[in-house]
Amino acid sequence: MSIEGEFIRGAGPIAVLKLLDRGEMYGYEIIEALERRTDGVLAMGQSTLYPMLYNLEAKSLITARWDESGARPRKYYRLTSGGRKRLAEDSRTWRKLAAAMEALGVTRIGALLPHSNWKGAIA
Amino acid sequence: MTDGFPADLRAFIERTVRLTRLRKREQRDLELELFSHFREALASGRTPDAAMAAFGDPKLAAASLRAGAIAKRTMLDRVIGKAALVTSVAALLAFVAYASFAAYLLSQEPVRRTDTVAVFQSTLPKSSSPEECAWPIYRSALLQLEFAFNAPSSEAREALNAMPWPGDEQWPKVAEWLQNHDEGIRMLHTARAIPKLGFPVGAPRDALNAQLLGEPSADFSSATEDYSKVLPMLALELPHLAQMRAAARILCCDAIRAVDHDDGARFVTDMQTVLAISKHAQEGRLLICDLVGFGIRSMARTYTTAALEWKPELLNTSQLAELQTAFESVPDELQKFVATSERLMWEDILQALFTDSGNGDGVFLMNKDSERVLINMLAMMEPKQGVSAERGTAQVLAALPRALSAPMAAWSFADRKSTNAFVDRLFVAAENASQLPLPDYLKVRTMDRAFESEVQDAPLRWTLPRLLMPSLSRAMAGYAVDRAQCDSVAVTCAALRFLRDTGRWPATADELVPSYLPSIPIDPWTGSAILLVSDAKGNRVWSVGCDGRDNRGDPLASDGFEWAIGGASAPLPTTFPVRNPYYEQASYQPTNDIDWVWYAPLGSVERWRTTQAPRTQVRSTQ
């Protein structure tokens, strides 16, 4: 797998957790948000999202509920307290990594990220 | 809920879900989620094709969805799932192995590598001409004596079968019949000098033999159509044995008639012929042949002792010597069990019931044919007790609860080599037991218990020997009794010769050695010298009997020592490890704690009459 692929793979769960930090979302909504807000960089194959959600659910970082009150039944995912804690830890790690890369002069974090929108996704 | 959903998208979802191979409940949840996902995709303006393309390849999606769904399961659930998977694979492998083995067994046929009958026939004495064989003489004589197969029965024949003694109601008829058939009896006498019998066991029956013996029995083959091909040794017919017993009965009656007429020479000739018949009957050395031989020799001993007790002066010294020689002439090898022919019977069983790997090994082959062999063998073992094939089936099924299919039976029963080795040890033990002196039969019992213990440790493993092996050890005492019976007449003749020569009865057995006997005659129960006495009750020779206590040889208390042959007395084993289920429990209980009286002249044949009559009265027939 390319380094970019590795980055994306490692970034996927924290990106999802970060999106859910702002409120509960259903699967397709998460996919669209990832694509839109990362300008397509984290637009993972749609079928990849659901296994990732199940893994986060298995680790009790998120929970799910069905909402059938609307026109279309939706399964909403939201962060648990454990998920919130993990998000905080992973965010710190990512910040340290970005700072280290910048300190080494490898690149500025802004240069590492192809699109400025992605910065918002992990901040 | 999915009404109006595009069919191709619905099929896409269903296929993806199906490919996950998740549990039903998990598939249901996933399906709901995917329907929700695609409903949102359609609502966002995507076409079904675009939605499917964005979702990705169903196979890859199914794999990752499955991994994700499994991750949601609890730890216990995952462990159980894994165990179930391993168990399923193991069960599948076991089933494949079982089915393969079953198919292998199904494809196997019994292999008759050894022509057992041919081997058996090769052990029979060879003769270059019919003149060297006694059987043609017996056959001609018996035909002359009106014993042809289709000959009508007569009162005299019936009376002969009862073997009456002079003084009995039936005796006059028998005596008259004997007188009228003197030529046939004299013909029987001529067979006594011929060493071989030469009955063609297992050969097609020629016209002359069929005239005497009838056609081969239909009874045997009707119940089991190919039995003679499957177990040919067991299917061998030995009809000559009954005819030879009949000849011996005629000669015994003729002998006692000779005594009645004071014809010592005729008596000796009759007895010599009876003894020759007993030896001829043992040709082939099947156990049944030996037992018939013992029975005939037992008759010879009974009639000789009866004659000498009735008329002690009947025989002159040289006739006594001839008689003694006749009894001493029974070869040692005929007085011990030789399992060669019986082993061939077992070889038939192995060939019928086991596969043949070519190196003497194989596994039990449970199929229709072998089941039929088993059932028929069990049904045949005790036909007189009315064991039907149905009962045989029930017994087999009861005995083989785990052998409901061939592989289980093949794995449960000992393999061919082990089974053969086990049975061979039984044969060797029986051969050794047949050479033991009488008191040592307690050792046979110990030996039996060792085998019994081995069978009890692994009853299923030794099912076949347990079901099919005859109770050999109980028959082995017959050899020691036969030796004792021959000794008893030899000692009696020797003592009578001593009396003629010295005018007195020998006080001890060692007085007879070496002029009258080559060695001191031994009491078979004590190993000490046999007991002789001459007192107010007369001259006597006796053994102390199985209780070891000396009752001074009271002839009226003696049972004629038909011990073991007649099924009486201790200390034979009461159980046998490989007894078949039909064999009744042995009834060897000590019924006689009295002496075996070998000779005690009473001037009558009273003590030799049927044992049904109380022996309280001594009646002279003179």
pLDDT digits (tens, 9 = 90+) for B25-81: 999 999 999 999 999 999 999 999 999 998 989 999 999 999 999 988 888 888 888
Positive or negative: CA dihedral B415, B416, B422, B423: positive
Q: Are residues B450 and B399 in the same domain?
A: yes
At residue A4 the predicted structure's pLDDT band, cuts being 50, 70 and 90, is low
Based on the fold, state whether residues B528 and B443 are members of the same structural domain. Answer: no
B225-254: per-residue pLDDT in tens? 556 777 889 888 899 999 999 999 999 999
**pLDDT > 60? residue B255:** yes
Estimate to the nearest angstrom the gap between the alpha carbon of B582 and the chain centroid.
Answer: 12
Spell out which residues of chain B touch residue A50, defining contact as CB-CB under 8 Å: 30, 33, 37, 65, 68
Is B82 domain-assigned? no
Domain around B55: 7-73
pLDDT at site B581: 33
Domain end: B474, B506, B536, which one? B474
Counting the structural domains of chain B, the total is 3
pLDDT at B281: 97
Query: Which domains does chain A show, CATH number per domain?
Result: 3-122 (1.10.10.10)
| pLDDT given for residue B339 in this prediction | 94
Q: Is residue B115 part of a domain?
A: no
- Strand ranges (DSSP E) for B112-190? none
Q: What mean pLDDT do residues B451-475 have?
A: 81
Residue B99, domain member (yes or no): no
Predicted pLDDT at B617: 34
* Distance (Å, whole) CA B359 – CA B357: 6
Q: Which two tokens stand for residue A66?
A: 């069905």
Which residue in chain B has the smallest CA separation from A59? B72
Q: What's the pLDDT at A69?
A: 92
By three-state DSSP, how is residue B540 classified? strand
**pLDDT on residue B445:** 65
Please report whether residue B113 resides in a domain: no
Residue B599 has pLDDT above 90, yes or no: no
Would residue B302 count as lying in a domain? yes
Report if residue B105 sits inside a domain: no
Does some domain include residue B617? no
Among A47, A53, A54, the residue with its CB nearest the CB of B56 is A47
Residues B386, B325 share a domain: no
Q: Let me know whether B171 and B306 are in one domain.
A: yes
More confident site: B593 or B583: B593
pLDDT (mean) for B433-440: 82
Q: What is the mean pLDDT of chain B?
A: 83
Asked whether the predicted pLDDT for residue B584 surpasses 50, the reply is no
φ/ψ of B232, rounded to 5, equals -65, -30
B536 domain residue, yes or no? yes
Segment B527-566, tens digit of pLDDT: 899 999 998 888 999 888 777 778 888 766 655 544 432 2
**pTM as predicted:** 0.71
Cβ distance A50 to B41 less than 8 Å, yes or no, reads no
Q: Is there a single domain that holds both residue B184 and residue B286?
A: yes
Q: What is the mean pLDDT of residues A83-107?
A: 87
Interface of B with A in 4-43 (CB under 8 A): 16, 30, 32-33, 36-37, 39-41, 43
Which residues, 6+ apart, have CB-to-CB distance to B79 below 8 Å? none
Q: How far is CA B361 from CA B98, B406, B407, B420, in A?
A: 20, 17, 16, 9
pLDDT of amino acid B622 = 30
* Tokens linked to B136: 């043609």
- Are both B483 and B500 inside the same structural domain? yes
B33:A75 CB<8 A:
yes
Residues B345 and B326 in one domain: no
